[in-house]
Structure 1
């Protein structure tokens, strides 16, 4: 049996490396939002995006199969001395169904395990 290593792709065949992920829930609607942060995109290096097909969505693949997500926003943040160095890419999407959230969390657990990532709650600031 072959093990499927979890991957995240914007372009077919080009796996990206997730640097950080933030999970939030809107208390009034219950809708959960995900913000994925990438320090670089292999798809834009060496014009790789011209060599591969854009999937029109974010593709998350693991041993259970593929999840296709349409981001509500993708933001490119630049920095450096000239302001033209890619600092990071932020990809945001929402999940409103509980079964989709559970499936996404199973993917994230597999991705985290395969890539040495750990879950952590944000530190709470003292109000005093």
Structure 2
């Protein structure tokens, strides 16, 4: 695949902007990734009618596509009336080291392309 800007999609051609990501490993050894989005273009206008749904979270970069099946998707509302979208959290479990390594290569490319940096929380 040619040099491609790393991107994240729920719908073909609708690029989402990641606001935060949590990467960890649980007690069973499974990797847990939580992608957080402050806004989600997939929820806007008629995207669900005009674009094909991947049924996965698709990560695209120069190595190709990674299709991840979310284990949960949480839509968090807030604001005075509780009807303002605060964020959308997409949780994914990864149980194979080679899949984790591929995800990390994508994450480094995505972070570099979008001015993000890795940091550990204390």
Which TM bucket (shorter chain)?
Answer: over 0.9
- d(CA) in 1 for partners of 2:44 and 2:95? 33
Q: Is 2:7 the partner of 1:7?
A: yes
Structure number with larger C-alpha Rg:
1
| Mapped partners of 1:7, 1:108: distance in 2 | 10
Instruction: State the 1:48 CA deviation.
Output: 2.0
Q: What's the C-alpha RMSD, in Å, of the aligned pairs?
A: 1.3
Name the structure 2 match of 1:99. Answer: 98
SS in 2 for 1:68: strand
TM-score for both structures, normalised by structure 1: 0.91
Unaligned runs of 5+ residues in structure 2 are none
TM score, norm. by length of structure 2: 0.95
- Higher mean displacement: 46-55 or 63-72: 46-55
Corresponding residue for residue 126 of structure 1:
none
Q: How many residues align?
A: 122
